[in-house]
Amino acid sequence: MKDQKDYLLKDSFILFLATSIVNLSNFIFHMYVTRNLSPSDYGALATLLGMIIIFIMPSQALLMTVTKRVSIYKAHNQFEKIFSLFKKTTKWFLILGIFYFVFFMLFSNFIKSFFNIDDIILILILSFISIVALMLPIVRGILQGMQKFAGFGLNLISDAVFRLLCVILFINLGFGLRGTLASSLFSALIAYILGLFMISEFFRIKEKPFQLKKREFFGYALPVFFSMVAFSILSYMDLFIVKHFYEKEQAGLYAVTSIIGKAFLYFPMAIAMALYPKVSENFELNKSTKSLLIKSVVLTALISFIGFLFCFFFPEFVIKLLTGGKKYLEITGIVRIFGLAILPLVLLNVIINYLLATHRYFFIYIMYSGIIIYTILLWLFHKTFFQVIFILFLVNLIIFILSFGSIFIPENDKIKVKGKIN
């Protein structure tokens, strides 16, 4: 095992490279899809993919919680507990996945009606995706917690690349929007199987059974869950509002704008991925974490700003590259500024990872207060895309500033849970 040093730059580069490949693959995915689906179908796809993000947030909470537990085991050289953790969490979240399936089936008609989606089979596919998506973060959490960033990055890449290959195959076979959505199901399943092989070395270590208390595990998972749900709502609320209030064609145009902005500005997400286990381990060992945070924020801002400048100066090139046609050129104006609008959201992701790793949860109240204001403003003011984007920027900026400020509240330092490792 490596000595406890600051490998943030090195590991961030590994994950940055991996997530860059993932973003490139996803960009090609959307580039191919926009050329083969109508704007209305693409708007439905973007909405369904956003719903996946929202509804599988327990899986993201699971990823960060498993990462946290494994980073603690790593800090105390207790690798024999990892297999037991894997078995217990798999059982819990498989049950949750079945519950999700039933939920989607019961509320399928409401989902169709609210988002103006015509095909109920899409909701069925969505329900299957939710099951696999709850399993995948278990293996990824083990890889991330052990700071095996090369394997973690490879798993992310396999998911994105297989999704691209599947969508090309399914569309050419004539499955259209159904096949496009199903590609996410098959790629996630393949990534999960590959992930099992990647963590198989821990299955060979003599297992040391232990009692993982649900209260202890979910006591940390719940704050992670609520923060991830909040972050996802902030990321996709604008898309949902537009899909509900606008005509299908207009919603499709906005969906393309959203995809372009996020494709360029989510590259630095790798920095937050590398930050989280490092801060968790240092926090468990009572080492300083502030320098890691500062480096992460600066790197994220720098990379994001480069993406914004590219969108601002070359919006038509980006639109043509993604869509291949002139039918989307009317969104040139909002593409120029959309990157800047979501910059506070990208920086907020770094702050969330840091605060969760150091057991500081006051920011969750800030986020949900912001969501209430965000929802009200978007519901009342959505006549133009520029109104929607301005509200997106303003609310996220305020949430970011207040969440960053919560780091320096002295009372938060007392929240740390001293690690009794069961």
For residues 338 and 258, the answer to whether their CB atoms sit within 8 Å is yes
Position with higher pLDDT, 59 vs 301: 301
- Per-residue pLDDT of 79-119, as tens digits, reads 777 787 888 888 877 887 888 788 888 888 887 887 777 78
List for the chain the helix, strand, coil content (%; round to 5): 85, 0, 15
Cα–Cα distance measured from residue 338 to residue 311, given in angstroms and rounded to the nearest whole number = 8
Which band of pLDDT confidence, cut at 50, 70 and 90, is reported for residue 212? low
Mean pLDDT score across all residues of the chain: 80
Cα–Cα distance measured from residue 88 to residue 321, given in angstroms and rounded to the nearest whole number = 45
Q: Does the pTM of the predicted model rise above 0.85?
A: no
Cα–Cα distance measured from residue 379 to residue 238, given in angstroms and rounded to the nearest whole number = 10
Percent of the chain predicted with pLDDT > 90: 16
Residues 6+ apart with CB under 8 A from 138: 62, 63, 66, 86, 89, 90, 93
- Per-residue pLDDT of 352-400, as tens digits, reads 888 888 888 899 999 999 999 999 999 998 888 889 989 999 999 999 9
For 88, counting Cβ atoms within 10 Å of its Cβ (0-12 exposed, 13-18 middle, 19+ buried), the class is middle
pLDDT of residue 416: 42
Q: Where are the alpha helices (H) located in 246-331, listed in sequence order?
A: 248-265, 269-284, 290-313, 315-323
pLDDT of residue 163: 93
For residues 254 and 246, the answer to whether their CB atoms sit within 8 Å is yes
pLDDT of residue 419: 40
3 pLDDT higher than 60: no
**Domain locations along the chain:** 8-412
270 pLDDT higher than 80: no
Of 65-69, 111-115, 394-398, 417-421, give the lowest mean pLDDT range.
417-421
- The amino acid at residue 135 is M
267 pLDDT higher than 70: no
